[in-house]
Chain A
């Protein structure tokens, strides 16, 4: 029997779990398809009596909205059902096992997230190709735009990983924090442009979100894709994303170290 490296075994937990629950996969497929149809219909309907709005024409707005739906698939796994979220481990006291295994908890967490994101990427890519073939999403304007978008999306997912990690790390300090988690998730969705492209919001809102890491997760890559952010600005935007990655990497590393001091095994 082939012995798989531990990293591979941890990384494939999510994909295997999903593959063994066909109803959930069917639900995910149906949900994605319906959501894309609804979102595309909505933006087509809104633009029926309007021209270019907030610097976005109809095709750009539809592409942005559909790509946002596809991107949200990247980390939309139902971890709660698998009872492997940090908040559940804190609640049931099983977080201690993360510290008793021969793999550091931060590495376990990163590998689980990586497996999840790669699994979600397969869904998103398949959905993207179908939408592209159906003409729902416009192709990128040039190979350079495609390349910059791919790099920006990678950075965006990296930032998103750290944002979600900070939210999870909060559980080590607060016993009851469901509300804080929900607020942060709302903030992430609102300020990253999941609900509606940030370009439609008032100027003060756009300025406020430029000081936060959330827009780096989704709004920046999608705006690059649809051409709302020109290629000439791409280097600056990519460097801002890279800056957030570095800041959040150092911050979460610090939090992991502090969190470890709070976990007590077998009564101390």
Chain B
């Protein structure tokens, strides 16, 4: 309970610190919104020009970027500082974390308040409302519960992927480079049905880099395309659980990697 209170107080202080530069604060909100809009623009351009993408109608497809963007916005808000770990290592900040009486992971997350998450979440929530309003699906309690679970599962899966990159950064600081690519890949290929891609490439984005589990599979299950995803239905339906398991596994890897971390002072 004490840990939660401290985390909350630090977050409030971080938020006030962000308010120190008002223009920067507002522009950071715009950055989050623009990043999401750029992903949305790409998806919309493809949807408009190539209707009936992968056998999905446009209302169903819209649920994919909506789920992914909401999951991404929550990731940025709650666990996104792990993305900046490479910089913390390079600047030696991580070494000071090791001697403080608080878990390193929590200190990383409390490093600063992610103002851009406000913009991220605003656009994503707007898109989700639009996607649900346009959808012909019957939004039963079961479907809504699954959608909520899918968003949190997507958030955890994204966090798991960035945590793995962070673990690599603890050993090779240049691995930070992979984080930016990962973000780009998630934005570019995570927002439409992956069955438009050749089977091998779709397989790569399912089992190599599991971005299909972030939004594509949950949306397929919700919209009745769950049997056409190229993987067993139960696997596609288990996406939220896979996100949770992946995150737990990533945190174990984080613990192991941190125990083997060697700073410049040895």
Interface of A toward B, CB cutoff 8 Å = 21, 23-24, 27, 31, 37-38, 41-42, 44-50, 53-54, 78, 80-81, 174-180, 182-183, 186, 189-190, 195-196, 200-201
Q: How near does chain B come to A200, taking the closest CB pair, in angstroms?
A: 5
| Interface-located stretch among B20-28, B122-130, B149-157, B215-223 | B20-28
- Within 8 Å CB of B28, what residues of A? 178-179
Q: Give B201's nearest chain A residue, CB to CB.
A: A41
Q: How near does chain A come to B188, taking the closest CB pair, in angstroms?
A: 8
Are A186 and B34 neighbours in the complex by a CB distance under 8 Å? yes
Interface centre among B30, B45, B175 (most CB of A within 10 A): B45
B8 interface hit (Cβ, 8 Å)? no
Q: How near does chain A come to B35, taking the closest CB pair, in angstroms?
A: 7
- Within 8 Å CB of A45, what residues of B? 54, 196-198
Are B42 and A50 neighbours in the complex by a CB distance under 8 Å? no
B139 interface hit (Cβ, 8 Å)? no
**Which residue of A24, A49, A177, A190 contacts B174 across the interface (Cβ within 8 Å)?**
A24
- Within 8 Å CB of B38, what residues of A? 186, 189-190, 195
| Given known A186-B34, A190-B38, contact A27–B177 (CB-CB < 8 A) | yes
- Within 8 Å CB of A200, what residues of B? 45-46, 48-49
A-B contact pairs, 22 of them (CB 8 A): A24-B174, A31-B181, A38-B188, A38-B201, A42-B197, A44-B198, A45-B196, A46-B49, A49-B52, A80-B87, A81-B174, A175-B21, A176-B24, A178-B24, A179-B28, A183-B27, A186-B31, A186-B34, A186-B38, A190-B41, A200-B45, A200-B46
- Within 8 Å CB of B54, what residues of A? 45
Number of interface residues of B (CB under 8 A): 38
Are A46 and B174 neighbours in the complex by a CB distance under 8 Å? no
Task: Please give 18 more A-B residue pairs, beta carbons under 8 A apart, in addition to A80-B87, A183-B31, A195-B188.
Answer: A23-B172, A38-B185, A38-B201, A41-B197, A45-B197, A46-B50, A50-B50, A53-B49, A54-B49, A81-B90, A174-B24, A178-B28, A180-B27, A182-B34, A186-B31, A195-B38, A195-B41, A196-B46
Q: How near does chain B come to A104, taking the closest CB pair, in angstroms?
A: 29
Q: Give A45's nearest chain B residue, CB to CB.
A: B196
Q: Give A37's nearest chain B residue, CB to CB.
A: B201
| Given known A49-B52, A177-B24, contact A23–B201 (CB-CB < 8 A) | no
B104 interface hit (Cβ, 8 Å)? no
A174–B30 CA distance with the chains assembled, in angstroms: 17
- Within 8 Å CB of A179, what residues of B? 24, 27-28, 30-31, 116
Are A195 and B42 neighbours in the complex by a CB distance under 8 Å? yes
Q: Give A190's nearest chain B residue, CB to CB.
A: B38
B47-75: CB near A (< 8 Å → 1, else 0) gives 01110111000000000000000000000
| Given known A24-B174, A175-B21, A176-B24, contact A196–B31 (CB-CB < 8 A) | no
Are A183 and B49 neighbours in the complex by a CB distance under 8 Å? no
- Within 8 Å CB of B42, what residues of A? 195-196
Q: Give B53's nearest chain A residue, CB to CB.
A: A46
- Within 8 Å CB of B175, what residues of A? 23, 27
Are B198 and A41 neighbours in the complex by a CB distance under 8 Å? yes
A42–B201 CA distance with the chains assembled, in angstroms: 9
Q: Give A47's nearest chain B residue, CB to CB.
A: B50
Would you list which residues of chain B between 32 and 46 have a CB under 8 Å from chain A? 34-35, 38, 41-42, 45-46
B167-189: CB near A (< 8 Å → 1, else 0) gives 00000111111100100010011
Q: How near does chain B come to A247, taking the closest CB pair, in angstroms?
A: 25
Interface centre among B50, B53, B54, B87 (most CB of A within 10 A): B50
A54–B49 CA distance with the chains assembled, in angstroms: 8
Q: How near does chain B come to A48, taking the closest CB pair, in angstroms?
A: 7
| Given known A42-B196, A183-B30, A195-B42, contact A53–B201 (CB-CB < 8 A) | no
A225–B240 CA distance with the chains assembled, in angstroms: 45
Are B50 and A53 neighbours in the complex by a CB distance under 8 Å? yes
A31–B174 CA distance with the chains assembled, in angstroms: 14
- Within 8 Å CB of B48, what residues of A? 200
A178–B18 CA distance with the chains assembled, in angstroms: 13
3 interchain residue pairs of minimum CB distance: A179-B27, A45-B196, A176-B24
B74-93: CB near A (< 8 Å → 1, else 0) gives 00000000000001001000
- Within 8 Å CB of A49, what residues of B? 50, 52
A195–B187 CA distance with the chains assembled, in angstroms: 10
- Within 8 Å CB of A180, what residues of B? 27
A233–B23 CA distance with the chains assembled, in angstroms: 42
A81–B27 CA distance with the chains assembled, in angstroms: 25
- Within 8 Å CB of A48, what residues of B? 196
Q: Give A21's nearest chain B residue, CB to CB.
A: B174
A41–B189 CA distance with the chains assembled, in angstroms: 11
A53–B178 CA distance with the chains assembled, in angstroms: 34
Q: Give A189's nearest chain B residue, CB to CB.
A: B38
- Within 8 Å CB of B52, what residues of A? 49
Are B189 and A176 neighbours in the complex by a CB distance under 8 Å? no
A253–B229 CA distance with the chains assembled, in angstroms: 55
